[in-house]
Structure 1
């Protein structure tokens, strides 16, 4: 829910992409280190910032995802971006199948097929609009985050701070670029608030989630951003999605909702069956 205001805050800051990325990631890194230091001061059980090699890979994937996400914000519409990012759960399901042996069930394959159709409609609509590059970046961002969630799930380690420390990579890249182009942000306080408050809360929760539920289920919560971010942008900037974006986005949302409801039903059915076989 916190993540749904990310894109509107980026747009409100009204800046050049590299300047936005540097400020956002710099504030996120600072906030993460301060929170971790305070936690460590009062408790020796504070999570590791980067737990082993798996943590390094997860941090790198979150960093790459941050770069592609910010660049996509400035190269495609908000509706296209969040609708394509909703493909994240399907990427997570596929990666879990390939690397963790968690084979998706037939219902998941059906949802994947529907979502591929939805994304194809959105991307196809952008072919002549100049949004193709931004849409490809959005797909890349979704794949990076899905990969990070899958590895977090496989490792079983607490990656809550790893996603936040992962911003070191985009921060360094952005700082290098800003050194060449100059700092250009008209309303920096919006992006400072985004980086210092919104990002730490949302990504800590998303990165810690795979310890308790499956990667696909964690990814399903991106549906909130898919639904609400275009609403906030429409209310603030009067940016109306194109007809094909709405059609493709509706297909994505319906597929995700149907799959989520099916997962909940299957989970309840398995728990009931387990309780019947092993009564207390």
Structure 2
């Protein structure tokens, strides 16, 4: 009989990311923009990783191709954390879960994996769901007059970058795990800092606030929980089939939807639910294929 611990670990990771929007919003209300929060938290995580594996930097320098992994995972975190802070949480999560569709296109381009007819069908299904989610209240005729919101654009970018991260991880499977982890966390910190400074120059990101025990403790606690969630993902994914992992991780949508609806951070309507069902069906079919 298989141990339930890998399933529990994956559920814990999905729970952490499904509820991560709430502490990011609390930090934002305390004056800490999600970009500064992301940079601050991953700086703490990097210090902890270096203390645990002092020689990891030498491993990273031996594999310059890890810069692509740092870029994609960094932009993924920046986009997701910013989007769930300022946008409708359910809408953001659904647009983010377009990643299986992006993965088909990226695997075709980067790994040379030609899509099967079923993969193309999943692609069409997912994009049809996105069209429903993004359709304005005025219907299709008002699409041109209502451009994407910043949160919508960030969610789509985050999903694309997450798919690129997964494809890149497959390509770099021979690189030691600690080096990959360091590159991902380092990319999160560097991309968040770069975006924060650029946003500050553009006037859309506030300056880094004075240090206060309240938000510093919250950010440090969230950093520890995210690090624990990452470890849980590594533990569960290493012991379960890829399809099973993908299926369990879809529970993140359930956690995010339930928590945001209960706390008033999302507006649910029939069109969003139908579009979300199509997107999740595409993800489900991709998971079952594996």
TM-score, normalised to structure 1, is: 0.75
Query: What is the rounded CA distance, in whole Å, between the counterparts of 1:150 and 1:83 in structure 2?
Result: 20
1:146 to 163, 169, 176: 163
1:243 matches 2:247: no
1:56 to 55, 67, 86: 67
| 8 A Cα contact 1:76 1:131, kept in partner | no
Cα shift at 1:257: 1.8
User: What residue in structure 2 maps to residue 193 of structure 1?
Assistant: 221
Query: What is the rounded CA distance, in whole Å, between the counterparts of 1:28 and 1:71 in structure 2?
Result: 15
Cα shift at 1:107: 1.9
Cα shift at 1:208: 9.4
Query: What is the rounded CA distance, in whole Å, between the counterparts of 1:90 and 1:47 in structure 2?
Result: 35
Query: What is the rounded CA distance, in whole Å, between the counterparts of 1:155 and 1:98 in structure 2?
Result: 16
Query: What is the rounded CA distance, in whole Å, between the counterparts of 1:207 and 1:60 in structure 2?
Result: 20
Query: What is the rounded CA distance, in whole Å, between the counterparts of 1:68 and 1:136 in structure 2?
Result: 9
Cα shift at 1:210: 9.1
User: What residue in structure 1 maps to residue 6 of structure 2?
Assistant: none
Cα shift at 1:83: 0.3
User: What residue in structure 1 maps to residue 9 of structure 2?
Assistant: none
Change (3 A) 1:146 1:56: same
1:165 to 186, 208, 230: 186
Query: What is the rounded CA distance, in whole Å, between the counterparts of 1:122 and 1:9 in structure 2?
Result: 25
Cα shift at 1:103: 2.2
Cα shift at 1:79: 0.8
| 8 A Cα contact 1:75 1:131, kept in partner | no
User: What residue in structure 2 maps to residue 232 of structure 1?
Assistant: 259
Which range is displaced more, 11-20 or 211-220? 211-220
Query: What is the rounded CA distance, in whole Å, between the counterparts of 1:232 and 1:36 in structure 2?
Result: 34
Cα shift at 1:77: 0.8
Unmatched runs of 5 consecutive residues or more in structure 2: 1-13, 138-142
Query: What is the rounded CA distance, in whole Å, between the counterparts of 2:160 and 2:128 in structure 1?
Result: 17
The CA deviation string for residues 231-258 of structure 1, in whole angstroms up to 9 with x for no partner, is 1112233633233211111111122223
SS of the residue aligned with 2:263? helix
User: What residue in structure 2 maps to residue 73 of structure 1?
Assistant: 84
The CA deviation string for residues 125-165 of structure 1, in whole angstroms up to 9 with x for no partner, is 37577763321221111111211221121122232222111
Which range is displaced more, 123-132 or 107-116? 123-132
Unmatched runs of 5 consecutive residues or more in structure 1: 264-280
